[in-house]
Amino acid sequence: MIAYILRRIFLLPFVLFGLTLLVFGMSMLLSPTQRVATYITSPAQLELGEQSIDRLIAKYGLDDSFYIQYGRWISNVLHGNLGWSESARRPVSDALIDLLPATAELALFSSIFIIFGGVWLGTLAATHHNRLVDHISRLFATSGVSFPDFVFGLMALMIFYGALGLFPPGRLSAWASQVVMSPEFHRYTKMNVLDSIINRNWQILLDAIRHVVLPAITLGYINWALLLRMMRSSMLETLRQDYVTTARAKGLRESIVNKRHARRNALLPVITLIGIRVASLMGGVVITETVFDYNGLGRFAANAARQLDFPAILGFSLFFGTLLVVCNLAVDILYAYLDPRVRLR
């Protein structure tokens, strides 16, 4: 197992190298005048005239060959300089760091619902094949896959906020935002739910939960439906295997056969989907955060795209790509833990 993990970690820098080449190659499609924005790190520099822009192009060598510019860009990235974001009015790296806790909090609530709900209900549907539970779960799964996330989100807002006034959009109410920004409230993680628990402020905790419920359910329902369908299909296939029949023939209880023998192997193809979906959640789901006015990475990327903020788009792409690579490594390690045969490859 250790040798397998070391091999995967050894390959990680090469994958990241390919990722940076792809992201930088996309930026080379822009003209030097557009790419110079990556090197503007303060609002004052945005007021430069055309001659000053030409001097910046010459200063940073934006007319140089590809490999020279790539090396210079990698050096800036390693020093945390991703350029200035005009849409966020601050450096891209600062925006990513500041908005990451908001998206991480939303992803955490959604992931709990997706993973445990999808795995548990998928297993339940497979072990009660063609019964009432199976039919109901398939109905929910089909509706979840068929619903566009923005339609489901807008319907949820209309019902639970517009009609019932229960779950408002945004991250916090106006009064709660003032309390959170006050010196008495200590910001440890910038996750509203976790920080309110640490500060023992139960009013802020309740308000934060009210705001995160609808976007988490919207985000979770779409992804949960995919996971449920795959878990059900994988579990049904596993239950037909000979070793499951042998386990039953030995007199083992059905619950033990399902949990210890069938579900463990049925999880193998599901693990990959979980890793990809969790990574996409952490990258910030653009549509969901935009619909619910949730100030996270997804909304940041949407604003950057609307305003053609190239440094912010490239910075978000690099961050999201790196996150996918790291999550894929974690999935591979977990896959090898569940299936020892993988370690021999």
What pLDDT does residue 205 have? 93
Is residue 126 over pLDDT 60? yes
Comparing 285 with 41, which gets the higher pLDDT?
A: 285
**Is 45 domain-assigned?**
yes
Domain CATH number, residue 102: 1.10.3720.10
Mean pLDDT along residues 95-112? 89
Is residue 212 over pLDDT 80? yes
Is residue 217 over pLDDT 60? yes
What pLDDT does residue 209 have? 92
**Is 337 domain-assigned?**
no
**Is 340 domain-assigned?**
no
Comparing 180 with 116, which gets the higher pLDDT?
A: 180
Is residue 45 over pLDDT 60? no
Q: DSSP for 247-293?
A: HHHTT--HHHIIIIIIHHHHHHHHHHHHHHHHHHHHT--HHHHHHTT
What pLDDT does residue 46 have? 54
Mean pLDDT along residues 252-256? 76
**Is 333 domain-assigned?**
no
Last residue of a domain, one of 290, 306, 322: 306
Q: 152 and 34, same structural domain?
A: no
**Is 30 domain-assigned?**
yes
What pLDDT does residue 49 have? 52
Cα–Cα nearest to 311, from 42, 1, 118: 42
Q: 193 and 68, same structural domain?
A: no
For 222, the 3-state DSSP assignment is helix
- 259-264: long-range contacts (C-beta < 8 A, 24 or more apart)? 262/235, 262/238, 263/119, 263/123, 263/235, 263/238, 264/338
**Is 215 domain-assigned?**
yes
Q: 85 and 102, same structural domain?
A: no
- Residue 82 pLDDT grade (very low, low, confident, very high; cuts 50, 70, 90): confident
**Contact predicate 116/278, CB 8 Å:** no
Q: Which two tokens stand for residue 128?
A: 């009660």
Q: 179 and 80, same structural domain?
A: no
Query: Mean pLDDT for the chain?
Result: 81
**Is 328 domain-assigned?**
no
Total domains in the chain come to: 2
Is residue 57 over pLDDT 60? yes
Q: 251 and 289, same structural domain?
A: yes
Mean pLDDT along residues 219-243? 81
Q: 244 and 118, same structural domain?
A: yes
Q: Which H or E run includes 91?
A: strand 90-91
Mean pLDDT along residues 118-140? 83
Q: 168 and 282, same structural domain?
A: yes
User: Which residues fall within 8 angstroms of residue 266, CB to CB, at 6 or more apart?
Assistant: 123, 126, 231, 234, 235, 237, 238
What pLDDT does residue 38 have? 60
Q: 163 and 50, same structural domain?
A: no
Q: 298 and 206, same structural domain?
A: yes
Q: 208 and 71, same structural domain?
A: no
In DSSP terms, 91 is beta-bridged to: 84
Please state the pTM of the whole predicted model: 0.79
- Residue 196 pLDDT grade (very low, low, confident, very high; cuts 50, 70, 90): very high
Q: 219 and 102, same structural domain?
A: yes
**Is 191 domain-assigned?**
yes
What pLDDT does residue 133 have? 83
Query: Which domain covers residue 23, as residue numbers?
Result: 2-90
Is residue 174 over pLDDT 70? yes
Is residue 7 over pLDDT 90? no
Comparing 309 with 48, which gets the higher pLDDT?
A: 309
Q: 98 and 51, same structural domain?
A: no
Q: Which two tokens stand for residue 334?
A: 């977990």
